[in-house]
Every structure is written in structure tokens, then in C-alpha cells.
Amino acid sequence: MTVYYLGKVYRYQKSVLVKKILRDLNLNPEEHLVEVDGKIYTEDRLIKGGNVTIHKVTSAG
């Protein structure tokens, strides 16, 4: 699978949990959303393949 974040591309050969990807990239799960082929995945979901995009989401206020 291919993971996109801030213009960089990361590749994973096997199925992986969302929380592992976030941990590998040193990202806070409370500040990021993970989209897999157009669907939002929670950190306990297993990603079996596809295109993964990580979005930084923070609120100011």
C-alpha cells in the first residue's frame, strides 16, 4: 500500500493497523485523520491495501 503525508510517499508491503502507521511516522492520532480510498479509518482498523492519505487536523480555539 502507498501512504501519502505532507508530499512524502511511504510504502508498506503488508497489512498494517492505522495506529502503527501513525506511530511509525511519529504522528499524534488526535491530530491526524487517516483516509483509505476515500473512507476515514479509526486507529484500530487494519489496512489491507489501497491508497492511504493522512490529513493533519487541528483546531484553534
The answer to whether the pTM exceeds 0.95 is no
Closest among 44, 40, 46, 20 to 55, alpha carbons compared: 40
- The pLDDT tens digits for 11-45 are 999 999 999 999 999 999 999 999 999 999 999 99
Domain of 42 in residue numbering reads as 2-56
> Which sign does the torsion angle of CA 42, 48, 50, 52 carry?
positive
Report yes or no on 61 lying in a domain: no
Helix (H, G, I), strand (E, B) or coil at 31: coil
* Number of neighbouring beta carbons within 10 Å of residue 29: 14
3-state class (DSSP) for residue 18: helix
What's the total number of domains in the chain? 1
> In CATH, what number is assigned to the domain containing residue 48?
3.10.20.30
CA 47, CA 56: separation in Å to the nearest integer?
Answer: 19
